[in-house]
Amino acid sequence: MGVMITVSQGANSLQDTEVLPLIKQFGDKHWISRAEAAISLGHIGDIVAVPALRVSLQDTHSLVRYYVVEALKQIGTPEAIKAAQASQNHGCPKFPSK
């Protein structure tokens, strides 16, 4: 199952309407929901998601971890990139680019 994430209520409307519900999806029992959340958070690119994505690097499902790494890369802040690189050095899956 996934990693439990706690979410503090955000300050702006983008966080409230898009980011926070996706972060809450990391608590879903279905891995596909957690993977979809990671993909969506990467597309949105809000740095607010970085702490939750970092926690989700410990997800039990390898595809969730893969999409979390990709989301961190898409967000692209130094903190996000560092977390993505560190996770790949510690067993997160690496899949070939398309």
Does the pLDDT at position 98 exceed 80?
A: no
pLDDT attached to residue 11: 47
Asked whether residue 77 is assigned to any structural domain, the reply reads yes
Q: What is the CATH number of the domain that holds 50?
A: 1.25.10.10
Residue found by looking up tokens 């595809």 in the block:
63
Tell me the pLDDT tens digit for each residue of 60-83. 999 999 999 999 999 999 999 999
Q: Which domain holds residue 35?
A: 13-88
Which residues are within 8 A (CB) of 89 and not within 5 positions of it... i.e. 6 or more apart? none
Report the number of distinct structural domains present in the chain: 1
Residue 44 lies in a domain: yes
Confidence (pLDDT) at 10? 44
Q: Which amino acid, residue 91?
A: G
pLDDT digits (tens, 9 = 90+) for 1-53: 565 554 544 445 566 688 999 999 999 999 999 999 999 999 999 999 999 99
pLDDT of res. 88: 76
Q: How high is the pLDDT of residue 14?
A: 60
Does residue 78 belong to any structural domain of this protein? yes
